[in-house]
Structure formats: C-alpha cells, structure tokens
Structure 1
Amino acid sequence: MILKKGVVNEGEYVGWEIEIVDDRAGQTGGFYLILRSKEGEVFDYWFEKKQFLDNQLADFNVQWH
C-alpha cells in the first residue's frame, strides 16, 4: 500500500518522484522508499522498521502530495 508520494525539492535527487510503500503485509515485510527520475531511473530502498525509514527520510527535503 502506498503511504505517501511527493517530489524531492533539493539535493542530489531534486525533481525526482518519491514514494513510500508499506509492505508489512507482503512477502518482504517492512517499508520501501522508491525514487524515480524523469529519465526513467529508479532506485528502491527497503527498511525493516519504520524508524529506519524515518531516519533515511530526514536526509530528503520533500514536497508531499
């Protein structure tokens, strides 16, 4: 389930879309942070606990939708 979507406002990934996915009920459990560029590049990061995800999100300035 998608929890949040937004766009990164500054830094290395400025302009990239960001999406937070809750996969606790899925096969992997935990949470995904997905980054997508306009050129089609995609990076995803998996976090076992929400606390770890929140720590990573502190590194991003995001305009959430």
Structure 2
Amino acid sequence: MSIVRSGIIVGGGHEGAKISIFDDSAGDTGGYYVFIEEPGGGAFDNWFENLHVLKVNLEDYEVHWNDDGTETP
C-alpha cells in the first residue's frame, strides 16, 4: 500500500487535521484508504472502493495538499 497524497484539512470539517490517502488498488482491498488524524488526538479512517467514489467524498473538504506526496511533518 503506497501513499498517494497527504495534506492538512483547512475547510469543510475537521479543520487542522492531517489527511493521508493510500492506494491499495493492487492489494487485498482493491481500493483506497483515507486516514484523518485530528490535531488534539484521535483518528479515523475510511475505505473507498474506487477512485471515483474517493474523489466524490473528498469534495466535502478543502485541503492544503503537500506537493511532493510525502507525510506532513
């Protein structure tokens, strides 16, 4: 499973949380995972069966994405 993109949520709920998207399309699940880590602690994840469903769900958020796809420090 490889990271596709990461960044910080700046609008749409969960502001200030770190978001990371992982591609597992070639793995066991065949989909995409989204991990959201809240700034005060706590985290949750979602699984999406394909890229289209992932993109539709990400429309709810405004995200400042890292340009290089690496983890946010």
Q: Tell me which interval the TM-score lies in, with the shorter structure as reference length.
A: over 0.9
Structure 2 equivalent of residue 34 of structure 1 = 35
RMSD: 0.9
Structure 1 equivalent of residue 4 of structure 2 = 3
Structure 2 equivalent of residue 20 of structure 1 = 21
Which sections of structure 1, spanning at least 5 residues, go unmatched? Answer: none
* Alignment coverage as a number of residue pairs: 65
Compute the displacement of 1:36 (Å): 0.4
Structure 1 equivalent of residue 55 of structure 2 = 54
Which sections of structure 2, spanning at least 5 residues, go unmatched? Answer: 67-73
Q: Percent identity among equivalent residues? A: 38
**Paired residue secondary structure (2:64):** strand
Once residues 12 and 53 of structure 2 are traced to their aligned partners in structure 1, the CA distance between those partners, rounded to angstroms, is 20
Q: Structure 1 length normalisation: TM-score?
A: 0.92
